[in-house]
Amino acid sequence: MSSSDADDANPYDLLGVTLEATEQEIRTAYRQRSLKVHPDRNRGNPDAARKFHELNQAYELLLDPLRRMALDAKVRLKEARKARYATYDAKRKNLVEELEERERAFKKARVEKQEEERARFFENERIMEEGRRLREEREKALRKREEEREAAERAKASEDEPPALGDLDTTVRLKISLSSHPTLTTASSLAALLSPFGTIDESVIMLSLKPAPPKKPKRVTALVPFRQVSGAFAAVCASGRVEGGLGDIEVTWAEGKEPELIGWLKKMGQLGGDTTGSVRTSSGEEAKSSSPTPNNTAPTTSTSASNTAGISSPSSTSFLSFPSFPDFDPMPPSSSSIPSATVAGLDYESLTLMRLRQAERERLEREIEEREATEGA
């Protein structure tokens, strides 16, 4: 029990004993009083628990010799002060009361100041925590916007960059009926047939004759790799067209689906439409394709050797054109197969680097503007 509690509630008064009471008298008084104020006997009294607690505190204090000695000194000092105060005249009593009132007011002001400082401390902590939370949210939002901007830039850059060329993106599959083309049973004959569309690596052409001997084969299936994807695309576009020399011949992509590179070129708007029977030369001039040849021979054109960029545009018949864009060569071409045309005076690598530099310049300009706006704010 603290000294302030001792001033408010005297343990001797709570137990009903005097300062000269023995330990046994204190125990007896405690048992008697505890039976009266016990909460179980005073269920309807809301102060019963508090009174029982104060009684226990007073009992423990009086059974402790050192604490009881300190309490006795305070009680005797208080009684001596009361006795001395009784001897004072009215004027002196007023002075003492005024002094005590000032002391109480000072204590009250000090307690209020402490409470005010404590409340101000917790308010500052709350404001600091709120500011910290707002700052973290703002930084999180800035990081999210930065990530979204970088993701958008990466997506834009990935859209501008062509996909990688697959192993079979320049290879086409041919299905030939021998009843219509009885001579197309060798790699050299297939190379001669498809040479107008682009350079072919004849040494790796694969043929399959069905059914196998001794029965006479009725159909040929072949895989023909072009050196450049433009030649494969032109051949697929000319599938089944007599004017292209591929009447009754089915030409499809080797993997059964269009390469991603072709889809990217279509998305970028670099693929042309249908063309007439004309072929674009390396100098940009158009040469008329020869009249339809028999199905068992390859079509001959005046530009068959230089037709690496595809077929030109508008008219009504023949296969699709391949636009002016650089060829993608999956294998190192020989000196005799290097294309002589340069795409619109600018190769693809230079065009890609130009776009990347432009995107990087725009990104740096945006960062500088954002930094200046932040510093200005």
CA distance 259 to 267: 13
Domain match, 356 and 223 both = no
Q: Are 226 and 254 in contact (CB under 8 A)?
A: no
Q: Does residue 260 fall inside a structural domain?
A: yes
Q: Does residue 97 fall inside a structural domain?
A: no
> Where is the domain boundary, 34, 69, 87?
87
CA distance 204 to 223: 9
> Where is the domain boundary, 87, 122, 143?
87
Domain match, 207 and 293 both = yes
79-120 per-position pLDDT tens digit: 888 888 888 888 887 887 888 899 999 999 999 999 999 999
Distances from the Cα of 61 to the Cα of 22, 56, 68, 73, 181, angstroms: 13, 9, 6, 14, 121
Domain match, 31 and 71 both = yes
- Mean per-residue pLDDT, 73-82: 87
Beta-bridge mates of residue 224: 172
Q: Are 221 and 210 in contact (CB under 8 A)?
A: yes
Domain match, 60 and 207 both = no
Rounded to two decimals, the pTM is: 0.37
Which residues fall within 8 angstroms of residue 269, CB to CB, at 6 or more apart? none
Ramachandran angles phi, psi of 212, nearest 5°: -75, 155
Domain match, 359 and 260 both = no
**Residue 84 tokens, joined:** 């001395």
- The CATH number given to whatever domain includes residue 40 is 1.10.287.110
Distances from the Cα of 6 to the Cα of 2, 33, 97, angstroms: 6, 18, 21
Average pLDDT of the residues of the chain: 74
Residue 172, classed as helix, strand or coil, is strand
Domain match, 183 and 330 both = yes
User: If pLDDT is split at 50, 70 and 90, which confidence band does 287 have?
Assistant: very low
Domain match, 311 and 250 both = yes
Q: Does residue 23 fall inside a structural domain?
A: yes
Domain match, 274 and 179 both = yes
Domain match, 262 and 340 both = yes
Domain match, 201 and 332 both = yes
Q: Does residue 43 fall inside a structural domain?
A: yes
Which residues fall within 8 angstroms of residue 186, CB to CB, at 6 or more apart? 207
Q: Work out the percent of the chain whose per-residue pLDDT is above 90.
A: 21
Q: Does residue 25 fall inside a structural domain?
A: yes
Which residues fall within 8 angstroms of residue 118, CB to CB, at 6 or more apart? none
**What is the distance of C-alpha 238 from the center of its chain?**
45
217-258 per-position pLDDT tens digit: 677 888 889 888 888 888 888 888 877 778 778 889 988 888
Q: Does residue 99 fall inside a structural domain?
A: no
Q: Are 287 and 279 in contact (CB under 8 A)?
A: yes
Residue 375, classed as helix, strand or coil, is helix
User: If pLDDT is split at 50, 70 and 90, which confidence band does 214 have?
Assistant: low
CA distance 285 to 280: 6
CA distance 267 to 258: 13
Q: How many domains does the chain have?
A: 3
Domain match, 288 and 369 both = no
Q: What is the pLDDT of residue 160?
A: 67
Q: What is the pLDDT of residue 8?
A: 59
**Residue 285 tokens, joined:** 């001039």
126-155 per-position pLDDT tens digit: 999 999 999 999 999 999 999 999 988 887
Host domain of residue 74: 3-87
Q: Does residue 129 fall inside a structural domain?
A: no
Q: Does residue 154 fall inside a structural domain?
A: no
For the residues of 76-102, what is the DSSP string, one character each?
Answer: HHHHHHHHHHHHS-HHHHHHHHHHHHH
Domain match, 175 and 256 both = yes
